[in-house]
Amino acid sequence: MLFRDSAAAVAAECLSGALFFRLTEQFVHVHGHKPGPSEVRSWERSIPVLANALNDAGLGQVEMLLEYGLPLNSKRADAVLAGVHPKTGVPSYVVVELKQWSSAEPDDDDPSLCRVDAYARAVLNPVNQVRGYCEYLISFNGVLAAHPERVSGAAYLHNATEFGVGGLFEAEQNQHGRLFIGARRGEFIDYLRTRLGAGSGAGAADELMSGKIGPSKQLMAVAAQEVREREQFVLLDEQQIAYREVLNAVRRAKRADHKEVVIVTGGPGTGKSVIALSLLGELYRQGVSALHATGSSSFTTTMRKVAGARKREVKELFKYFNSFMTAERNALDVLICDEAHRIRETSANRYTSASNRTGRPQIEELIDAARVPVFLLDEHQVVRPGEMGTVAEIEAAAAKKGIRCQVVPLDSQFRCGGSDAYLRWVVRLLGLEPGGPVIWEPDGKMRLLVADSPREMEAFLDERRARKYSARMSAGYCWKWTKKVLPGQALPTDVVVGDWARPWNVFGDRAVDGAPPAALWATDPAGFGQVGCVYTAQGFEYDWSGVIIGPDLVWRGNRWITDRTASKDPVFKKSTPDADVDRLIRNTYKVLLTRGMIGTVVYSTDAETREKLRELAGAASSLLPV
């Protein structure tokens, strides 16, 4: 929140011009940079309109909470009005979304979207936007979760006429989403009087600000049904043990009023994410507050899609590791940190506000956020400098705080056809475990093939797709990646090997020329045809995996040589030590080589390395029978 005061005080500050200087000053303090001209312009043009409407309604003592930040989220509501209900006298809140639009029309295909001349793409109908803010606040602010009837939402298009925006009224309206226009200002004033009384709103605002942050009981009930009651989440053997250990830790923490850390460690396909989702469902069913978090945009997007496909509000239970910089200590009962090997040194990045740059380690933030922090990780999947998610790091952070920490190992795995032999072959191949590479001995669970060219690999995988298998191609980060593609243009073919060239997967969260956004490359069938990298492949699996080993890892004589100059990965800085680069490149190929459920086809751009791979993969593996 950038500013809070009564409507009468806000109106006076607007009149003097002081409010906008104060908002700008606070914005710089919170976000670490100046607001853009369009944001300042919206304050200058919209906030006085709302303040004047409240004062004209006789509601000058209503509290205006401007630029109100949603909990555990980067979104901000333009204003939350806090007051007392005119009939009952209990706290009452109105979330207001302000728009300067003079004209807008609903999207032809979806009335929840609309078209505005100022924007190239469709935007959310303001009614749906403010409804989403209301529902989110009810889900995550304990004061509102206990009394959802006290919250209302209104979109006020103060420059609009009936002729200009009449089509937007087609969107469904309810208590959490009402639409008002400037041409009928009186209706908006009448509406405010039905929700807010003339008394002071300071107490209601205080109550809202002190509300406990975390998922509501109602949201947990929805999630319990949506997440827990899914047949594919079947836990076996040590998966069940890990699951039970976490639930036991939760019981101990509640009974003795203390904290406890649980680390679940296992290789790819050991079911860590299945355990995470099963825990979420069970914890919600028990009424225990919990959130799921990862450090991967692709992984979180997919988890939201899997678990919240039918219930949009369930998606909000899936957060990122950097969502807890300002979280209240122990506000949650459980925080499930999936893919915890992606934990960073700190949560701060170039977008982090100055006030949030505390320098605290991200591990400490995550431990502090809940009574029982749970970390699920695979240490061999650390692929970026600065990733700190190891058992030793977490144990040390817990010990520093005097918190009990237990480690639960997972041995059985379900990826790579359940082939323990193949996983051992990969880690021995890459020198991630002692003993050196060994020749692959087929075990009937996993197939290993070596291609003579990327074209041969692609043709083989495409034929497998024709037989209804899923397949993807991925590669080491050895080719520059064109990040910006102009509208209407095809993806550039950045990955070039001889006369064969294909694009990297899309960079960003929008589809391009029929190719899915980055987060869905591994799961959307349209992802075939683009080459994925470790950041889009990590955490996912498909039936057949094609892996291009680039010039950053080559076999010379009797050992692997990593060539950091061949890597185009921008995360490697000049200051990154050679030993770290070597380990991270090997871990990258370990991730890529363990995505396939039925088989892996591997190709190296280096001739000597291809010969070594043929030798280690066995004689028959160089043949690609279609």
pLDDT of 621: 62
pLDDT in tens, 35-68: 888 889 999 999 999 999 999 999 999 999 999 9
The mean per-residue pLDDT over the stretch 207-223 comes to: 72
pLDDT in tens, 599-618: 999 999 999 999 999 999 98
Beta strands in 368-440 (DSSP E): 370-377, 404-409
**420 has pLDDT over 70:** yes
Q: Among all chains, which residue has been given the structure tokens 């997007």?
A: 301
The residues, any chain, with a CB within 8 Å of residue 400's CB and separated by 6 or more, are none
Comparing 213 with 209, the larger pLDDT belongs to 209
- Burial of residue 557 (number of CB atoms within 10 Å: 0-12, 13-18, 19+): exposed
**232 has pLDDT over 50:** no
Beta bridge partners of 554: 561
Beta bridge partners of 549: 604
Among 248-252, 419-423, 490-494, whose mean pLDDT is lowest?
Answer: 419-423
pLDDT in tens, 363-397: 999 999 999 999 999 877 776 777 788 899 999 99
Residue 213 and residue 210: Cα distance in Å, rounded?
9
pLDDT of 539: 75
Percentage of the residues of the chain whose pLDDT score is greater than 70: 88
Beta bridge partners of 375: 263, 337
Taking a C-beta distance cutoff of 8 angstroms, is the pair 417, 584 a contact?
Answer: no
Among 12-21, 180-189, 222-231, 376-385, whose mean pLDDT is lowest?
Answer: 222-231
Comparing 289 with 384, the larger pLDDT belongs to 289
Q: Burial code of 366-393, b = ≥16 C-beta within 10 A, e = fewer? A: bbbbbbbbbbbbbbbbbbbbebbbbbeb
Find which of 50-54, 164-168, 309-313 is predicted with most confidence, using mean pLDDT: 50-54
Residue 298 and residue 565: Cα distance in Å, rounded?
27
Q: Burial code of 470-495, b = ≥16 C-beta within 10 A, e = fewer? A: bbbbbbbbbbebeeebeeeeebeebb
Identity of the amino acid at 300:
T
Taking a C-beta distance cutoff of 8 angstroms, is the pair 84, 63 a contact?
Answer: no
pLDDT in tens, 4-16: 999 999 999 999 9
Residue 65 and residue 94: Cα distance in Å, rounded?
10
pLDDT of 231: 39
Q: What is the pTM of this model?
A: 0.54
The residues, any chain, with a CB within 8 Å of residue 92's CB and separated by 6 or more, are 82, 83, 84, 85, 150, 152, 195, 196, 197, 204
Residue 35 and residue 33: Cα distance in Å, rounded?
7
Under the banding of pLDDT at 50, 70 and 90, the label for residue 275 is confident
Among 10-19, 278-287, 391-400, 448-457, whose mean pLDDT is lowest?
Answer: 278-287
Percentage of the residues of the chain whose pLDDT score is greater than 90: 51
pLDDT of 306: 65
pLDDT of 309: 59
Query: Cα dihedral sign for 39, 44, 45, 51?
Result: positive
- The backbone torsions φ and ψ at residue 439, rounded to the nearest 5 degrees and listed phi first, read -75, 135
Q: Return the HEC string of 502-540.
A: ECECCCCCCCECCECCHHHCCCCHHHCCCEECHHHHCCC
pLDDT of 532: 95
Under the banding of pLDDT at 50, 70 and 90, the label for residue 249 is very high
Residue 349 and residue 321: Cα distance in Å, rounded?
12
- Distances in Å between the alpha carbon of 227 and those of 45, 230, 333, 487? 44, 6, 18, 37
**578 has pLDDT over 80:** yes
The DSSP result for 278-336, as a single string, is HHHHHHHHTT--EEEEES-HHHHHHHHHHHTSS-GGGGGGEEEGGGGTTPPTT-EEEEE
Among 27-31, 95-99, 490-494, whose mean pLDDT is lowest?
Answer: 27-31
pLDDT of 348: 72
**226 has pLDDT over 60:** no
Mean per-residue pLDDT of the chain? 87
Taking a C-beta distance cutoff of 8 angstroms, is the pair 186, 126 a contact?
Answer: no
- Burial of residue 36 (number of CB atoms within 10 Å: 0-12, 13-18, 19+): exposed
Radius of gyration of the chain (CA): 27
Q: Smallest Cα–Cα separation from 314: which of 230, 223, 233, 228?
A: 223
